[in-house]
Chain A
């Protein structure tokens, strides 16, 4: 009976783990809310794609945005060309001696006209974002496989690691936009996985294949962002210290394979680097200078080093795992034994993969610009550490099955919460409008006992509500009010004076759950949402909000 139960358990664990992985992937894709509004920089991709369509030539007009972010748009444009493709090819074959003028080929012109109509529309943007999201999705698989590779047959823990990554609101948010950080995270996850493969390769052929793979993945990371160079350096060290790389000749072969794959992948994914090398180099210097420049008052600039590190770690451990800080703490607590367990039981793996975050943090923290999306690439390692942490805790509780079951139930509950949050966020992006936002604000005012300092525009929008419940004057000291809160439309303040990357700075933001406004304060989103900020007067003064014209409202 014992043997049969054991057989059933391992079969059950494997199936449940695959089902959980599938569910996580489905939640990740299905709650994408790719129609969540405007991103600051997507217009650059749109403009470049228009140029590509206009000239029928791969043309990236803005060198600051690389090909990894540009390619999803090209993929969608090519997808729309498929129905016309046979006719386009036939026309090209019919007139081989004619100079290539788009107007000479009706099918090509039809496609071009159709693309002019589409590009720039919300529908097209959603299609591009969907491709981008799918481009990010394999990160879940890489994390799952990494845990499985390091600790064979621990399927449930591997699925938990994938859920840690796939159900994170922060990861989901960054994956919705055509920004390069989410695909970069995917390639970093692939490098982490291939590190485990290189270290545990069972034959020389496997080792060579894994070396080629890790080279290609590291090349793709560099193609995403210059800061990805640290991943390349780390991956090279992995290859140098691979267990099967004994002997100078063998090592030289592996390093050569790594370099070839690295350069090939980088060149394929970043043609700018050799087609237009001077501009590419200029752009690299521009990015470095931009990150080094100090812009006083800029929402995303912080005091260097100490503050930078503190905020990044705060985000990584208290925000990134879950939208609820207490639950983030619980999940992060599981990552710590994971790191310890990795350091003790998979020492070489831990030493090698730690190179990347350490070098990244050291190189970035001296720069005043703090854009948290740059640190999204650390999420896969956190997820792996989480999975391993669950293994370590499970092993420690081996003699207390009830405690293990309780741990499993608690983690399942947290993941259900995270998944529920993603569903809710997706729903809120679709259903929120300025009326629901105002209704939510009214409910909140009813539920609290604060006096209010309200912007004139918001007071007008509340349409008689304030007069009914408050006595409002345009003069008087804010300090005389009872525990006051300032409420105003996001548009009521100069965007560049907002404070960003500060947890809890804004007590409440009434709007859709399309961004975590503490960290991405200037997110534009959909214009019609018109979010409302609710904060203490002290914090409002700190970000130089001019409240002279605001109404002082005392409860009746």
Chain B
């Protein structure tokens, strides 16, 4: 119910329609006075002036009661007399004539002030303000809803995926690995390496299938540095020398081509034409290698 009232403001509208302008003015002024006193009390409390803070909090309560009184006959609808008496019973002990400051009543008095302020709120608004507030809340909720839906759609939206798998990859003490996804990460300094002395393949998978014009390949090279305080070149010596590129579409091989690759001197890339439609998979098989084993640094798919 509270949630519905927050958006539809039915009770607030009824209150705004029922209250006369004079009474509304009194309620509004009293509410603002009460809020200002309560805020001042908070600040005094934070500064360590506890007795003053409590005095201001009680003043805020008095101002709230004045606002209620100003509503005249509508007072009972704003807050039943029994509830007001209950609040009075809570606040009165805080006003100690002996001047002794008791800290614990302060939060209680401030929460009473908040209750009073909430009770006065609908009676201090004009019907136009209520309508405006309803519109603002509706628009905000609609925007939040749209934003959430957009976010949800974005998260759940199927995306074009390209991923790589390989016959094997090199690891070193499991701390360093050279997995196949490194060829797709657009980072020239991460590589897919085959284990030393082994030949093998790497597959690029496409979901959904796509037309592929060519592959741009950067061979593996020896500029790799890792986090183990190696500042300079470390000759790993992994690079492919000859590769066999097979393209698959509709479950069958549609193109095949062989290429010789040189060792990388200055990040030069090799473009291998494919020109195939609806490609599901491309296998790059390393048939010969330079140094310790085969590998590739980057494979870019040109569509």
Chain B CB within 8 A of A119 CB: yes
CB closest residue in chain A, given B126: A4
Q: Are A152 and B175 in contact (CB under 8 A)?
A: no
User: What separation, in Å, do the CA atoms of A323 and B30 have in the docked complex?
Assistant: 49
Chain A CB within 8 A of B47 CB: yes
Chain A CB within 8 A of B280 CB: no
**Interface size on A (CB < 8 Å)?**
46
User: What separation, in Å, do the CA atoms of A346 and B49 have in the docked complex?
Assistant: 11
Chain A CB within 8 A of B223 CB: yes
User: Assuming A38-B227, A39-B227, A42-B227, is B107 touching A202 (CB within 8 A)?
Assistant: yes
Chain A CB within 8 A of B106 CB: yes
Q: How far is the CB of B129 from the nearest CB of chain A, in Å?
A: 8
Q: Are B227 and A152 in contact (CB under 8 A)?
A: no
Return the CB mask of B8-45 against A: 1 if under 8 Å, else 0. Answer: 00000000000000000000110110010001001101
Q: How far is the CB of A453 from the nearest CB of chain B, in Å?
A: 23
Provide the main secondary structure of the chain A interface.
Answer: helix
User: What separation, in Å, do the CA atoms of A43 and B225 have in the docked complex?
Assistant: 12
User: Assuming A3-B29, A153-B43, is B177 touching A121 (CB within 8 A)?
Assistant: yes
Chain B CB within 8 A of A47 CB: yes
* A149 CB contact (under 8 Å) in B39, B46, B177: B46
Q: Are A527 and B106 in contact (CB under 8 A)?
A: no
* B177 CB contact (under 8 Å) in A6, A119, A348, A495: A119
Return the CB mask of B164-183 against A: 1 if under 8 Å, else 0. Answer: 00000001011111010110
User: Assuming A116-B171, A120-B177, is B232 touching A43 (CB within 8 A)?
Assistant: no
CB closest residue in chain A, given B188: A528
* B103 CB contact (under 8 Å) in A120, A244, A524: A244
Q: How far is the CB of A19 from the nearest CB of chain B, in Å?
A: 12
| In the complex, chain B residues whose CB is within 8 Å of the CB of A39 | 227
Q: How far is the CB of B237 from the nearest CB of chain A, in Å?
A: 17
| In the complex, chain B residues whose CB is within 8 Å of the CB of A50 | 173-175
A:125-161 near B, CB below 8 Å: 149-153
* B45 CB contact (under 8 Å) in A3, A116, A119, A202: A202
In which size bucket is the chain B interface? 35 or more
* B181 CB contact (under 8 Å) in A119, A123, A204: A123
Return the CB mask of A1-21 against B: 1 if under 8 Å, else 0. Answer: 001101100100000000000
CB closest residue in chain B, given A47: B175
Chain B CB within 8 A of A345 CB: yes
Q: Are A120 and B175 in contact (CB under 8 A)?
A: yes
Chain B CB within 8 A of A203 CB: yes
Return the CB mask of A108-123 against B: 1 if under 8 Å, else 0. Answer: 0000000011011111
* A6 CB contact (under 8 Å) in B32, B50, B104, B229: B32
Q: Are B48 and A243 in contact (CB under 8 A)?
A: yes
* A151 CB contact (under 8 Å) in B46, B106, B107, B225: B46
A:179-233 near B, CB below 8 Å: 196, 199-200, 202-204, 206
| In the complex, chain B residues whose CB is within 8 Å of the CB of A42 | 227
Q: Are A527 and B175 in contact (CB under 8 A)?
A: no
A sample of 25 cross-chain residue pairs with beta-carbon separation below 8 angstroms, ordered by A number, consists of A39-B227, A43-B175, A43-B226, A43-B227, A46-B175, A46-B227, A47-B175, A54-B174, A119-B177, A120-B174, A120-B175, A120-B176, A120-B177, A122-B182, A150-B46, A152-B45, A196-B46, A202-B103, A202-B106, A203-B103, A243-B50, A434-B267, A491-B232, A524-B225, A526-B189
